Amino acid sequence: MRAAVITFPGSNCDRDMAVAIERISGKAPLRVWHGDASLPESLDFIALPGGFSYGDYLRCGAMAANSPIMRAIIDAAGKGVPLLGVCNGFQVLAESGLLPGALMRNAGQTFICRTVKLKVENATSMFTSRHDAGQVIDIPVAHHDGNYFADSETLDRLEGDGRVAFRYAENCNGSQRDIAGILNAGGNVLGMMPHPERAVDAAHGGTDGVALFESVFESLSVA
C-alpha cells in the first residue's frame, strides 16, 4: 500500500495522520509538500491533514485549494484514488470543488476542541465499511470553522444519494442537518471535520478512529 500525506504550510496534524496510517497499515506513508507539482507514482491513498494551511488567509482552505499539488490531487481523485480530508483537509476539499458546500464559522463563534459523538450514517462506503450503520462513535473535533453549509437542493441530493457519511449525534457547530462528513459522487473522496487520526490509541483517549483507516486499507487489498 502506498499512501501519501500532504503537508501545506500551516498543516499541524500531518504527523498525527502519518502515525495513524503507519500504525494501522504497517507502512509509513510518503510525505508530500504542497509546492510539489506532482504526486508520487501509483498512490493507493491520499490524506489531507488538519491544521491552518496558509494561516487560514482569505478563507479556511482557500489558498491550499489553489496550491500546485492540488491540481495533481484533483486529477488523482478523478481517477478514483481514495482521498481523505480531515478538518482543514475537508475545508480544502470543499474549496477545491471536490466536495460540495462550504465550512463556515461555528455557529457559537468559539473554537471547539473536545470529543464528540458521531453517528455513522453510511456504513457501505470504502471509508466506513468496518462500521455498522447507525453506530455511534467518539471522535475528537478541533475547529473554528466546521459549520457545514450547502443549499437545500445540495443537501437533499447528498442525503438521497447516501453521501452523508457521518452526522453529529449532537450538533456542536451549527452544521446543516448535523452533517460532519460527506462523500463525493464516486465515493472515493471523504471530507470530515472530526479527527479519526486522533482516535487510534487508547492512551490518547479512544480508538474509534481505527475502523475508518481499516475500512480504506481493506478496500484496497480487496480491489
Partner 1 sequence: MKVRIHVSLKPGVLDPQGRAVHHALEGLGFSGVEDVRIGRLVELDVADGTTDEALDEMCRKLLANMVIENYSIEKLENA
Residues found near partner 1 in the complex (CB under 8 A):
58-59, 62, 66, 94-95, 100-102, 104-109, 147, 149-151, 174
Question: How far apart are CB 48 and partner 1 at their closest, in Å?
Answer: 18
Question: How far apart are CB 61 and partner 1 at their closest, in Å?
Answer: 10
CB closer to partner 1, 99 vs 211:
99
CB closer to partner 1, 73 vs 211:
73
Q: Phi, psi (5° rounding) for residue 3?
A: -110, 155
Which are the contacts of 147, defined by CB distance < 8 A and separation ≥ 6? 103, 104, 105, 106, 107, 173, 174, 175
Enumerate the β-bridge partners of residue 11: 51
Q: Among all residues, which ones are annotated catalytic?
A: 87, 195, 197
What single-letter DSSP state applies at residue 54?
G
Report how far Cα 39 is from the mean position of its chain's Cα atoms: 19
**CA dist., res. 181 & res. 94, Å (int):** 11
Question: How far apart are CB 158 and partner 1 at their closest, in Å?
Answer: 13
**CA dist., res. 98 & res. 184, Å (int):** 7
Question: How far apart are CB 58 and partner 1 at their closest, in Å?
Answer: 7
CB closer to partner 1, 106 vs 188:
106
CB closer to partner 1, 35 vs 205:
35
What is the chain's percent helix, strand, coil content, to nearest 5? Answer: 30, 25, 45
